[in-house]
Amino acid sequence: MLELSNVTKAYPNGSVALNQVNMSVERGEFVFVVGASGAGKTTLTKLLLREEKPTSGKITINGKNIAKLRPHEVPYLRRSMGVVFQDFRLMPTWTVEENVAFAMVVVETAPRLIRRRVAEVLELVGLTNKHAQLPSQLSGGEQQRVALARAIVNKPMLLLADEPTGNLDPETSWGIVKLLLDINSTGTTMLMVTHAKQIVDTLRKRVVELESGCLTRDERCGIYHG
């Protein structure tokens, strides 16, 4: 489903963020990406979202080399995956419902279907009664649930979570992780970049570690530090 072969990313200032990275993720897998700050995790996310292009190497998602996409094809790549960020990235002036619905409006779903599916997803993340509130009226955990609802509303095959619990207290974090596990159990491939040692150590999922841009560890049932 997702494959990186010999992916290198060097920035114009000479720093090499990723160096000859090879990695393959099967459909339905749950993968933690760990590593110290500056190890290349953020760059990896940017490459997968096609915010950046690799300097060399190939990144294939569903058999398609995304490095070769033309600018107007990039939005369609992004629609095929859901993304969740540490800082939630919600529209501050839009209600919860509008934020979630937007992902479906973008793909021009019929309004009737949007209403039904948004209600369904808000129920799944436990925010049905907050559908008309603004992000600023919600707690951090609730905002991340909204972001998560938006990420999965189009039933993507791949969910990219970039430190989704980075801004949340441990208890709230577990709530989000449980949701991610639920989503993963329905067949969505999950790639979660994280610093949350406790979560990684408890779940014992596949762990990929980056160190100074190199992939140094890839364990099937790994823990945070190898």
Positions that interact with other proteins (CB under 8 A) = 49, 51, 71-72, 75-80, 83, 89-93, 102-103, 105-108, 110-111, 150
Query: What is the pairing mode between strands 16-25 and 189-193?
Result: unpaired
Continuous H helices in 22-82: 41-48, 74-79
- Between the CA of residue 26 and those of 79, 95, 122, 204, 205, what are the distances in Å? 19, 36, 28, 17, 13
CB of 44 vs other proteins, minimal distance in Å: 16
Rounded to a whole number of angstroms, the minimum distance from the CB of residue 125 to other proteins is 17
Helices (H), 4-162: 41-48, 74-79, 96-106, 111-124, 140-152
d(CA 205, CA 220): 6
Residue 68 DSSP symbol: G
Q: Between 11 and 76, whose beta carbon lies closer to other proteins?
A: 76
90 vs 127, which CB is nearer to other proteins? Answer: 90
Instruction: Give the list of residues 6+ apart from residue 164 with CB closer than 8 angstroms, or none.
Output: 84, 85, 86, 144, 147, 148, 176, 180, 192, 194
Q: Give the shortest CB-122-to-other proteins separation in angstroms.
A: 17
Rg (CA), the chain: 17
CB of 88 or CB of 206, closer to other proteins: 88
Nearest-approach distance from CB 108 to other proteins, in angstroms: 5
What backbone torsions phi and psi does residue 160 show, to the nearest 5 degrees?
Answer: -105, 115
- How far apart are CB 91 and other proteins at their closest, in Å? 6
Q: How far apart are the first and last CA of the chain?
A: 26
Question: In the complex with other proteins, which residue's Cβ is closer, 19 or 45?
Answer: 45
Closer by beta carbon to other proteins, 60 or else 80? 80
Q: Name the residue nearer to other proteins (CB basis): 33 or 103.
A: 103
* CB of 216 vs other proteins, minimal distance in Å: 29
